A and B are shown apart, each in its own frame.
Chain A
């Protein structure tokens, strides 16, 4: 398993070299969006309008941070469960989205979209939101402020620690549950 330092925007070459299990320290701008924001992004696309950020080479972080206390750019900011964004992700990948960051399994359509469009799914450690916030040096709301914790934020990250869960070659890192060993098969 290799270790990479990457910067946004991400290129096809950046993504193609990654394999499930690789560690990536990501720097640059990433965009937060979760359930409600995704719905609004898709509504904008359907209406033929411009998105609040450029999807080309972008990385989207599935996160709804806690409020920033005084003196910090952001509150706790760990990943939310990704499958809820599976109904939106393939379309965004087809428009240039290169990476998503979350936790938990993706569905077949999203995995296939990553293969078709040279994209990757990164895992960040769930429940380590305080620790992960240390790698976010700046954060500003750029769209859908009314969504509160679900607003779209542009976050500036420095060496944000990630693990490649799904690569663009069909590789996946998650353990397959051993039902036989557990006595249910």
Chain B
């Protein structure tokens, strides 16, 4: 049994919040560059050029890439042979507080009714899971509100099958249009229950953009959706072009005999993510 003390977790979380919000991850930058080379539309190229310049400037000045530093979302994998000295949830919240304060990040959490800001970026959204081993793995993403607002979950009838899923997802992206800051990344959750579909849709977004799903059938479906969505022609910031999504990531799990749960989590182009293993 390995012991991890909470100060170590707090510092690691704070550092991740600051790094993710100020340094565009290399997989996202590579997708921008790839899109820039493929796009023929001048307005699309101009948007991508600005996004690359923005990333360079954020890196240099340590200003956040986007003023919406999101709600702090964490996926945490606790090894079976790890003991946390102190409270893990509180440590992650404390790390979030520290990171958002020290990094001059915008605190965007508020009361849903009074709309009063909680003032420190918390509470973080924390999803816990358990894995073999003696490590603690923490994934962080800064989830902006504009793209989150364009996300939807639904319960399809099993008879609707893949065609129904495809129609729903492509339609969702079409209806969202320019609102979620395209080119987006689409996280899809299929299966489980109502809330589980949404959770695995979000979890799909922690994958690197350049990875391939280990199941070739799912990888092919991701590809099929990516191609269909890009034919919509919405383009960067909705100004037209062949890059409406940078990537489609899908998680598939068993569901109830009666159901076909589907969640579509839309992520803006500013896909700020980090991970750490303690």
The interface of chain A, by Cβ under 8 A from chain B, is 35-36, 63-69, 72, 75-78, 80-81, 83, 103-105, 123, 125-131, 133-134, 147-150, 163, 173-175, 177-179, 181-184
Can you identify 6 A-B contacts, CB atoms within 8 angstroms?
A66-B63, A67-B104, A78-B67, A83-B179, A129-B63, A179-B170
Distance between B128 CB and nearest chain A CB, rounded to angstroms: 29
A76 touches B179 (CB 8 A): no
Distance between A85 CB and nearest chain B CB, rounded to angstroms: 13
Of the candidate stretches B52-60, B86-94, B205-213, the one touching chain A is: B52-60
Q: Which residues of A contact B58 (CB under 8 A)?
A: 76, 130
B134 within 8 A of A: no
A178 touches B105 (CB 8 A): no
Interface residues of B in 246-274 (CB under 8 A from A): 268-270
B170 touches A182 (CB 8 A): yes
Main secondary structure of the interface of B (DSSP, over half): loop
B219 within 8 A of A: no
B65 touches A129 (CB 8 A): yes
Inter-chain CA distance A129–B107, complex, in Å, is 15
A81 touches B174 (CB 8 A): no
Q: Closest chain A residue to B116 by CB distance?
A: A146
Q: Which residues of A contact B232 (CB under 8 A)?
A: 177-179, 181-182
Which of A80, A104, A134, A178 neighbours the largest number of chain B CB atoms within 10 Å of its CB? Answer: A104
Q: Closest chain A residue to B106 by CB distance?
A: A66
Distance between B91 CB and nearest chain A CB, rounded to angstroms: 24
